[in-house]
Amino acid sequence: MDFVQRSTQDKFEFYRRGQRWDQAARLQFLFQRAVPNPNPDDTNDLARAAALQQTRDARVASGAQRYPNRGGGIADYRPVTDLERRQNINELIQLMWDHRDTLKFSRTLGWGGMSLATLWLWRDPATGRQRPAVLKNALGDGARRHSNRVALNNERQRLRLLARAKHIVQRFRVADFIGAFAAAGIDDRLGVWLEWARKGDLDGLLSAVAEAVRAAQAGERRFTRNWDGDADFLPPLVVWQIFDCLAKACIAMTYPPRLQAWPAQDSAWQENGNPLREVIPPFPLAPHNMKANIIHFDLDPSNVFISGTDNDHQDVSRFQVADFGLAETLQATRRAGDTGPLAPNRLPFSQAEQFTPDWDRVNLRSDPFTDGMTGLDQNPNHVAANYGPWSNIFQVGQIMWCCITLLKPNKAPIPQPMPTAPGPVAARPRTYGADVLDQAYTDRYGQELCELVARCMMHTPADRPTLNELQAQLNALRPIGPVAPRTRAWVRKYFRDAPAARAKLVDFDFRPQFDPATGVRNRLYYRNPRDANDHPTRLFTPFR
């Protein structure tokens, strides 16, 4: 545990300074690192912030900090080991064999460090109806695979709490669609089944927009009378919609809608049913108002998905938060005895509660709670490990910062004095989003909205807006009047449906194959369903 504490503190020190951290290169030093650190970084050091800002400005000018072009195809995802391939192929083969009359594989959506996401088409044998669904199953090998399965089980439980929340990607309940007998308990094992967001994720949207803006600024394409060099930036209405949807998701994580049933205490609405309103209860301390206080910890553009329109989102699609594998309740983060940030770091989308220099003041084999620098009473003036609803708000601020600037988050978080705060500069509260108040952004999106984003990224939780304040200010900032023609054109250009699940559907042929070593067994092949004479030729794999 001593090594874990030293390496974690060392990693975050490098992060705060914008330097690349390599464990192998730092290994010898880690065993000698002083804990606590006698010279920790100072969040209030204006000279240090100015130096970081100068480096950041040079990166922006060179284009190095532009929001990355994600490209396309699964070749861009991380390499997968042979063992990972074999384990997941076997899992999916067994799944398709068990449900061969009701389930078809469509395509792979992608994978990351924890899970593989694949698209499937379920068919109700009684009615013939078909519905697409996404399956997340664990990657990794050995202990890592086990921990990733635990994370998926954790995600399933969090999604049960968040059932019927409109701005949370919902579980796809197989038993409700094909019946409990046919589903055979699949909803609670293997992985997590989710509703499919056909329009992709916010990361892909920002990647496409940033590339279009780059091409326009470089003069690589022609403009028309209705589409000039500024037309590709996210319109103010779209930025407001993203912000409002994420704020409502934060409210849902704190006050899950289905837990606000009343008047009986400990009652809850059923998991199934129409979406419920995501609102802050007027009397939060009333017995029937259940507060879950879920902290997401992994909230970034790749975990924000674009859904369809509805009565509340008629002009711009709805945005939903997903991926709760790392999520914890507030109570679970108040654990004394831990030796580092109480959640895996998600650089560069960490929270101030994780990377604050206060961690360097923690004694060896101790924690901020034991050392008295952070109280267990949710005092918002404390920072280190002081997770709460304000932690989700911080990461929402980071996402909105990316939407407005079309840049990657600052490689070293820069604690600048809040430009619009009163008083002497040195005494102003620090924010990591001061750049969003540059005139180029305030002219496009308005001073008040940009200031709200910067406030969400304040270093100290007490300086960030509360959920009540955030929603009230967003309500006041909602763009009024009819939707501009250019905004409608932008939405048509960038909010595109992915190909339907059935458009790329592959068929499977389970046929007995004689193997001298093992006898007759079923092997899975696939063939193009559009050509009945196309015989199976290749073994199935989702990793292509």
Residue 164 has pLDDT above 60, yes or no: yes
d(CA 172, CA 153): 15
User: pLDDT class for 338, splitting at 50, 70, 90?
Assistant: low
Residue 324's pLDDT is 96
Q: What is the pTM of this model?
A: 0.93
Taking all residues of the chain, what is their mean pLDDT, rounded to a whole number? 88
Instruction: Confirm if 220 and 81 have CB atoms less than 8 A apart.
Output: no
Residue 265 has pLDDT above 60, yes or no: no
- Among 51-55, 310-314, 474-478, the minimum mean pLDDT is found in 310-314
Q: Which residue would you say has higher pLDDT here, 475 or 536?
A: 475
Residue 67's pLDDT is 96
Residue 71's pLDDT is 67
d(CA 396, CA 399): 5
Residue 72 has pLDDT above 50, yes or no: yes
Q: Which residue would you say has higher pLDDT here, 292 or 260?
A: 292
d(CA 288, CA 269): 12
Residue 264's pLDDT is 55
Residues in the chain: 544
Residue 403's pLDDT is 98
d(CA 170, CA 178): 17
User: pLDDT class for 298, splitting at 50, 70, 90?
Assistant: very high
Q: Which two tokens stand for residue 422?
A: 């009163």
- Among 141-145, 435-439, 449-453, the minimum mean pLDDT is found in 141-145
| DSSP-H helix ranges across 308-458 | 330-333, 352-355, 389-405, 439-445, 447-456
Percent of the chain scoring above 70 in pLDDT = 87
Q: Which two tokens stand for residue 427?
A: 């005494």
Residue 435 has pLDDT above 90, yes or no: yes
Instruction: Confirm if 460 and 437 have CB atoms less than 8 A apart.
Output: no
Residue 226's pLDDT is 66
- Among 10-19, 134-143, 230-239, 257-266, the minimum mean pLDDT is found in 257-266
Residue 530's pLDDT is 45
Q: Which residue would you say has higher pLDDT here, 451 or 525?
A: 451
CA angle 326, 327, 329 (to 5 degrees): 140
What are 453-465's pLDDT values in tens digits?
A: 999 999 999 999 9
d(CA 20, CA 398): 21
Overall average pLDDT of the 216-239 stretch: 82
Instruction: Confirm if 458 and 380 have CB atoms less than 8 A apart.
Output: no
Instruction: Confirm if 84 and 542 have CB atoms less than 8 A apart.
Output: no
CATH 3.30.200.20 boundaries in the chain: 74-196+506-539
Beta-bridged to residue 129, according to DSSP, are: none
What are 399-420's pLDDT values in tens digits?
A: 999 999 999 999 899 999 999 9
Residue 278 has pLDDT above 70, yes or no: yes
Distances (CA, A) of 490 to 202, 222, 233, 234: 15, 17, 9, 8
User: pLDDT class for 531, splitting at 50, 70, 90?
Assistant: very low
Beta sheet of 130-138, edge-to-edge order:
103-111, 115-123, 130-138, 192-194
Q: Highest-confidence range of 282-286, 493-497, 518-522, 538-542, by mean pLDDT? A: 493-497
Q: Which two tokens stand for residue 391?
A: 């932690």
Overall average pLDDT of the 337-353 stretch: 71
Backbone angles phi and psi of 82, in degrees to 5: -60, -40
d(CA 521, CA 444): 64
- Among 90-94, 438-442, 526-530, the minimum mean pLDDT is found in 526-530
Residues 6+ apart with CB under 8 A from 227: 486, 489
Q: Which CATH class is domain 74-196+506-539?
A: alpha beta
Residue 69's pLDDT is 86
Overall average pLDDT of the 464-491 stretch: 95
Overall average pLDDT of the 424-447 stretch: 97
